[in-house]
Structure 1
Amino acid sequence: MQIRPDITSSTQVSPMEADLKTYGFPPGYFIIRNVASDRLLDVDSDMVEDGTRIILWPENETSLVEDMRKPEANNQVFFIDTSGALCSRSSGHAIDIENDALALRHRRPVSHPFPNAYSHALPRFSYDSTTGRINVTFAADPTYPSSGDMDAALSTWKDKSYVLTEIPMRKPRTIIDNASELLSSAISMPLTLFGSHRASNATPEAVFSAGDIDLREDEILETERSEEGEVDDSQESIRLVRVLGLTKEEEKALGQPNMHLPSATRLVCYTTFFSLALAHSEDQTPLSDASNNEWVQKYGGQIDQMFSGPLSFSHLPYAKCLEDDSQTFDIALLGMPFDTGVSYRPGARFGPYGIRSGSRRQRETRGYTLSWGMNPYAQGSNVIDCGDVPISPFDNALAVDQMEVAYSTLLARPAINTSPSGLATFAKDGKQHPRIVTLGGDHTIVLPILRSLNKVYGPVSVIHFDAHLDTWGPYPGRNTEQSRITHGTFFRVAGEEGLMTKTNIHAGIRCKLAGIEDVHEDQTFGFELVTTDDIDDLGVATIIKRIRERVGTSPVYLSLDIDVIDPGLAPATGTPEAGGWTTRELKRILRGLAGLNFVGADVVEVAPAYDHAEVTGVAAADLVHDLLSMFLAKEGGQDPRTHTSSTKVEL
């Protein structure tokens, strides 16, 4: 039985009564499936903005077990609150009706006595299991007329029943394809909605000769109706949803043969299924009944806001990839909380946490930037956060091995995106491997990373953004095999082990040296030098050109020490050096490196204990976003070399 569209104070359901009433929907969380198209009700792109449209979309997650469901599939999960408002689990926001379409709506105070399109009571949704219909009840005229038109409008909207319908989509068809169907339809049943008509005994030839048919394409599409409703054969994934108001005559006519809905819609049956109110395994009891859950009934789902919830980079899907072989990806974020190789201030073991915390305002659904002209999460590659490597803080030899084994484990996973990236040509096995953006950790972590990459690609070229050379020898005095590996010596060790090519380059160097001999020794490991001051004398475009020419077409690893940025802009680091590049200058240089053959990258030496207002963590997180964009962007696009302003001196 459909709920009538006139809600008065006497018909409101009290919270106590609503605890026992779910308006025909299952208690707790559920999905809503359109039986006709086998698509689910879906919050478009999992967005949370006011006005986000609600659509029908193919099912994103088939498992009905909580622990096995992907968090990003929550945009297809809903619940009903005490007022009958249909709410999205993903954001907790309610579903409203806007111009007959469904849209996400933040709750607002209701304007009395004249509700308007901006401020009004939310519609009540109910599910009729006998007909499979989802009915909608309004507290006021859903067209929200002006106060002067209220009296005239009252007599119309209250007499209608409102149902949820789908707008079918047709695959492209030609006039020739449809001509015979049009003629048959026109002869047997002229286009009349909910009205009477005369049957015709005329032949198709007679109809043509009489000039009664105009073969316009829109009319052909409009006439192709069957007893089941409008034809829906498009290959597009999306279907649109609208609320249709039916008069009593139209509602009655729906049960009669050859009667169909107006405006190219079709009344479809829905089924609702439990999705998250299931046991985690067969021998466990179901989750608590949401009808007895005061929080769910009053406020809805427990959503994660940008400043709350489990911590993953940019709220990406999080998985313990090292122990779960089923986790596959194209790009992984991997934390290496190691800082027992530092020579000055410790604290970089909290770097992965600091970078993830700095990324809280980032989301994969809002990853588009004007500078890159793209969203790295929308390029067809699967990007996930694989958590942190459990690293020993007591034994550096053990820690270095743990990092190498962890990186090698993830590098051995098959990449999901089979589109050629060009990197397979560099791999020893000729296969495409995933890429990893590592969150440090002090700079020592790059040695085990290069060892892992060497197993797959052989020697790689290194682009090194840093204030320091990191090719020094061990500290004076007695040393062990392990003590010679620090955050200032790892490139020397990597060079000695043959992990790098001879076409490497530093950028942003400005540290104090023992003498020019430090530079000469650095060159023996294949490094060219770009100093911090070169940005004033040469400009961004020339620096980009030098870096690109240096590494050429070889496989490239990019390592970014946060101390390349001036400590006034990124103070949270272990060995700060005055006079560094600005965050903006560094970001512009990174944009100019798109299209190189990157096999991996990192951001290291973030030590949150020395930060204030998270300025370093936010900058580091933004640079990680740039690295992801750099991996997936093609050469050209928003490249600073194409702008005349890039040659200006920046102070």
Structure 2
Amino acid sequence: MSENHTTVADAEMPLYGALGMTFMQFPLLRHLSQSDAEVIVSGVPYDMSTSGRSGARFGPEGIRSASVNMVWEGARWPWNFALDDHLKVEDAGNVLFKHGEPQTLVDNLEAHISQIMDAGKTALTFGGDHFITLPVLRAYAKKHGPVAIIHFDAHTDTYSGGTKYDHGTLFHHAVNEGLVDTEHSLQIGIRTAYETDGHPFEVLDAAWVNGHGPEATLQRIKDRVGDKQVYVSFDIDGLDPSFAPGTGTPVSAGLSIDTALKIIRGLRGLNLIGMDVVEVAPAYDHADITSLAGATLALEYLYVVAANKGAGGDYLSK
């Protein structure tokens, strides 16, 4: 066992999992026990649980690469402070697992996130397909108990008919395992069929969000979540394909990136304890706009975390 990662004895780093650069050029995590970072970024180059087009294994690489477009800005608009001045972030690279054996990914990812939290830090995780959220939530629930979820997606991922490793069943398993505080959780942007009777989450579907706008959506989120510890899971197909074509299961009539960013930005004041961005598949992208959207959403989340510490006050503009 290394200080930064827990791995099975014969785990291997897949070739497509090699770390080319860090997110936002944040420092590379060297020793977790000696790090003073508050948020640890991790990549999970895994897409063996997809039911549509594969390719999300390249998501962490795509998001990190696209993030260089935002490094120059310093104080990101519309915030009035530079993130580095108020929040320390390091990038741990990619989680190790043995290619072709999904259970090694499950075990190693849960252990990796547990180490981050045991060190008193929170996690920002880049998938990979959406299945990776399940072992992450297991680690969070082990530390915090059931957590509230704000889940952006075109699909509910609560389907019960899938396999053990399936990006469409993760919230079915998470609810059954008691990982999620469903009374304080929401799903946002849904626009595919699901069983509404007995559905465990409040759903703000894409038509409702697009019709009512970010402010009404935020009010529903805050009413639902309250002061509970909340984890944000953002499947990039929650965005309309015009803003995020690079994903495995695109669905028309989704959220705009502007709407999504306004909602993320509006989460200030909530008790945020972690986030993932999943299902970015750069092979289907155009001009890296999906990777850029994923990187921008993740960076906006980090600004919210910094603002919750008291940094910067209000926006420069609204």
Q: TM-score range by the shorter chain?
A: 0.7 to 0.9
Counterpart of 2:259 in structure 1: which amino acid?
A: E
C-alpha displacement of 1:375: 2.3
Partner of 2:45: 337
Q: Using a 3 Å threshold, how does the CA distance of structure 1 residues 536 and 610 change in structure 2: closer, same or farther?
A: closer
C-alpha displacement of 1:366: 3.5
Partner of 1:313: 23
Partner of 2:181: 501
Partner of 2:96: 390
Q: CA RMSD in A?
A: 2.0
Counterpart of 2:264 in structure 1: which amino acid?
A: L
Residue among 310, 315, 318 paired with 1:638: 315
Partner of 1:372: 79
Counterpart of 1:496 in structure 2: which amino acid?
A: N
C-alpha displacement of 1:402: 1.0
CA contact (8 A) 1:318 1:387 kept: yes
C-alpha displacement of 1:369: 2.2
Partner of 2:107: 401
Q: Using a 3 Å threshold, how does the CA distance of structure 1 residues 438 and 536 change in structure 2: closer, same or farther?
A: closer
C-alpha displacement of 1:320: 4.7
- Where does structure 2 lack aligned partners over 5 or more consecutive residues? 1-18
Partner of 2:301: 627
CA contact (8 A) 2:44 2:95 kept: yes
Partner of 1:489: 169
CA contact (8 A) 1:314 1:362 kept: yes
Provide the C-alpha distance between the structure 2 equivalents of 1:495 and 1:612, rounded to a whole number of angstroms.
36
C-alpha displacement of 1:637: 2.3
Q: Could you say what secondary structure the match of 1:451 adopts? A: helix
The answer to whether residue 54 in structure 2 is matched with residue 346 in structure 1 is yes
CA contact (8 A) 1:372 1:591 kept: no
Partner of 1:6: none
C-alpha displacement of 1:522: 2.2
Flag the structure with higher helix content: 2
Which fold has the larger relative contact order, with Cα–Cα distance below 8 Å and residues 6 or more apart in sequence?
Answer: 2
The answer to whether residue 308 in structure 2 is matched with residue 598 in structure 1 is no
CA contact (8 A) 1:315 1:362 kept: no
Provide the C-alpha distance between the structure 2 equivalents of 1:440 and 1:488, rounded to a whole number of angstroms.
14
Residue among 110, 117, 123 paired with 1:411: 117
Identity %: 38
Q: Using a 3 Å threshold, how does the CA distance of structure 1 residues 461 and 610 change in structure 2: closer, same or farther?
A: same
Q: Using a 3 Å threshold, how does the CA distance of structure 1 residues 466 and 367 change in structure 2: closer, same or farther?
A: farther
Q: Could you say what secondary structure the match of 1:436 adopts? A: strand
Provide the C-alpha distance between the structure 1 equivalents of 2:76 and 2:140, rounded to a whole number of angstroms.
30
CA contact (8 A) 1:337 1:391 kept: no
TM-score (norm 2): 0.88
CA contact (8 A) 1:340 1:393 kept: no
1:459-497: CA deviation from partner (whole Å, max 9, x where unpaired): 10000011100111023xxxxxxx333111011111111
The answer to whether residue 161 in structure 2 is matched with residue 474 in structure 1 is yes
Counterpart of 1:335 in structure 2: which amino acid?
A: G
Partner of 2:70: 362
Q: Using a 3 Å threshold, how does the CA distance of structure 1 residues 574 and 445 change in structure 2: closer, same or farther?
A: same
CA contact (8 A) 1:341 1:487 kept: yes
CA contact (8 A) 2:63 2:291 kept: yes
CA contact (8 A) 1:336 1:391 kept: no
Provide the C-alpha distance between the structure 2 equivalents of 1:350 and 1:463, rounded to a whole number of angstroms.
24
C-alpha displacement of 1:630: 1.4
Provide the C-alpha distance between the structure 2 equivalents of 1:489 and 1:393, rounded to a whole number of angstroms.
21
- Where does structure 1 lack aligned partners over 5 or more consecutive residues? 1-308, 414-432, 476-482, 644-651
Partner of 2:143: 456
Q: Could you say what secondary structure the match of 1:557 adopts? A: strand
